[in-house]
Amino acid sequence: MKFAVIVFPGSNCDIDMFHAIQDELGEEVEYVPHTADSLEGFDAILLPGGFSYGDYLRTGAIARFSSVMAEVVKAADSGVPILGVCNGFQILLEAGLLPGAMRKNRDLAFICKQTQLKVENNTTTFTTGYENGETITLPIAHGEGNYYCDEETFLRLKENNQIAFTYHMNNPNGSLENIAGIVNENGNVLGMMPHPERAVDKLLGSEDGLKLFQSIVRNWRESYVVTA
């Protein structure tokens, strides 16, 4: 399986993502610049965290106009698995690939710590490696991770089982209904604020994030066998 790690000006988690895929997952991976006009040949697309374009205007607002994002949208529409982490989640929101918006953290402070999450939906491309309701530990590092959407959108998220992860026991940023990660209606696009790529080895304090990447590979291979 071949992964693309999209690199925007200001990305700072692209190396972490690359390491998680190549060294821990054992799959093929390449960096793809924001100027790319094709994502042909990639089986999954990863949008890493950081401060794309310095977070000017608002997080992800400029990155969504990068040349590569037109290709990301096309890939999403064709069913390619797409994961956006932290700033990557913010970019997916700005691009309209996921509903809602991101606001500054409740306490208006940058937060960097380990956080417990609850797996709310283990039937997505990204979560089949977890038990439903399982509690996992992933780190967060963000200043604008306070997810918000209107009531109609929230009810639709609930009805379609699009909430993949929630913060467990403690909501660090004020996110609506403790939401930490959501998928699109087709289930092939996931945006989440916690960093699974920073939790792929015990030396990092947790290896709970590795199951997410393993889920992507397992589901892709099963789909490939069925369609081949």
The 3-class SS string of 60-94 reads CCCHHHCHHHHHHHHHHHCCCCEEEECHHHHHHHH
Rounded CA-CA distance 23/10 in Å is: 23
Longest dimension (CA), the chain: 51
Rg (CA), the chain: 16
Rounded CA-CA distance 51/15 in Å is: 14
Q: Is there a contact between 140 and 111 (Cβ–Cβ < 8 Å)?
A: yes
Rounded CA-CA distance 11/87 in Å is: 8
Q: Which of 45, 42, 46, 63 shows the shortest CA–CA distance to 54?
A: 63
Catalytic machinery residues: 86, 195, 197
Rounded CA-CA distance 197/47 in Å is: 11
Rounded CA-CA distance 63/77 in Å is: 19
